[in-house]
Amino acid sequence: MGGGMTTTTGTRDFLLPDLGEGLSEAEIVEWRVAVGDVVTVDQTVVEVETAKAVVDVPCPYAGRVVALHGAAGETRPVGQPLITIAPLDSAAGDEPAGHAAYREEERAGSGNVLIGYGTGHGGTGRRRRRPRLAVVPEPASRAPGPRPAEPVAAPAPAPAGPALVISPIVRRLAREHGIDPATLRGTGPGGVVRRADVEAALAARTAAPAAGPAPDRAAPDADDLVIPLTGIRRAIADKLSRSRREIPEVTVWVDVDATALVETRRAINAATPDEPVSILALLARICLSGLRRFPQLNARVDTEGQRIVQSRGVHLGIAAQTDRGLVVPVLRDAERLTTRELAVALAEATAAARAGTLPPARLTGGTFTLNNYGVFGVDGSTPIINHPEAALLGVGRIVDKPWVVDGQLAVRKVTQLSLTFDHRVCDGGVAGGFLRHVADCVEQPALLVANV
């Protein structure tokens, strides 16, 4: 959290304040002051960009700028020095207006002064490029570290009327914990409700004795069938929960005319009846073609390393339903296989998965998954990504439907394709481009041959 620190020379370091939302750092976009400038209390000194918004940061000190910590484009962590201010010679009449007023507020325990409030000083006006958040500086006397409990025995008298809440961070904190600010007595100047007031109310509510033990809503009734969540079912549940918890997934879909793909498969199998090729093998080949064109989807997000890792080879997972649950056998380096080799590998992997004979190494390490849920007689789905992969292509049932061909209504073999992808690895343009390439190859298999 931001605060001040007095050095032996009388200068003060203003630390990058807590910008809320759990953010731990911010990038300097533009300094609004330079070394040697005189600043007043609450004057905007820098514009920073966080993961949430562009923010104007006001300085709680008045004086002369002696140092700027960091250049434009540099990332600064919360709690580290941002700007150093030296006091002016008040005896010579150099103290800017508002400095004494701020010191009075500081002695009263206030530091939550918003731009345009409290001291009457506003930030620099200019056209704003993006939505901005107001920053609430911490008291100058507070050093970085855990926030100490604030005394509430003798709060300042609250003004008549509704509680005054200036800070958006305070409003959000109260809302998240179900606290009505109107019930609080603000300890800030003029009865302003501060963050410490909300935290004190929260602490008091937490310390209050519970009305009684909460009922166990998970307890089953006597006639319920209880199935322990163990073994592979538990592993599946844990992995799917982690995927939904960590991956910001998006699903896009399109209906396609698969008539030509079905006819292509029929022609291949008529020419080589002893070595049949499945529709799934053709779809796998199309996926591999799409991933070669859009490798961004053949990736994973390394959250600890804060990076995206694109895999050189395609380790294709095939979702398979078994008596033991849903498993995903992996065909390593699938892009090196011919379409006929893909058909053989797919048949072998799914059969072994259903028999429960696949070793663990064959069930991990996938980089992209193909899920044919059409075998269950459904048209569409929004499946959960197989963590830590970044995308999954789903295929619905192929069924006769009316379709317009060359301006005439005809009965065609139609299926729905859906792509669920991790929005961290790419945007809609890449995802849409991949799905459109797959759809085009399904409708015109000659395009697939041209790209092999």
Sign for the pseudo-dihedral over CA of 410, 413, 416, 419: negative
Distance from chain centroid for Cα 218: 30
Residue 349 CB coordination number (10 Å) = 22
Residues 6+ away with beta carbon under 8 Å from 184 = 163, 174, 193, 197, 198, 201
CB-side neighbour CA atoms (13 Å) of 415:
25
Number of H-type helices and E-type strands within the chain:
9, 21
Alpha helix locations (H) across 78-217?
99-107, 168-176, 195-207
Residue 294 CB coordination number (10 Å) = 20
Catalytic residue among 99, 121, 423, 437: 423
Q: What is the dihedral of CA 193, 199, 204, 205, to 10 degrees?
A: 100
Catalytic residue flag (residue 177): no
Question: Is residue 250 classed exposed, middle or buried when 0-12, 13-18 and 19+ CB atoms within 10 A define those classes?
Answer: middle
Beta 132-134 vs 54-59: how paired, if at all? parallel
Residues 6+ away with beta carbon under 8 Å from 448 = 285, 286, 289, 441
Output the six-digit token pair for 369.
């998954």
Side by side, the strands of the sheet bearing 132-134 are 75-77, 25-31, 43-49, 54-59, 132-134
Are the CB atoms for 152 and 142 separated by under 8 Å? Answer: no
Question: Is residue 158 classed exposed, middle or buried when 0-12, 13-18 and 19+ CB atoms within 10 A define those classes?
Answer: middle
Active site members = 423
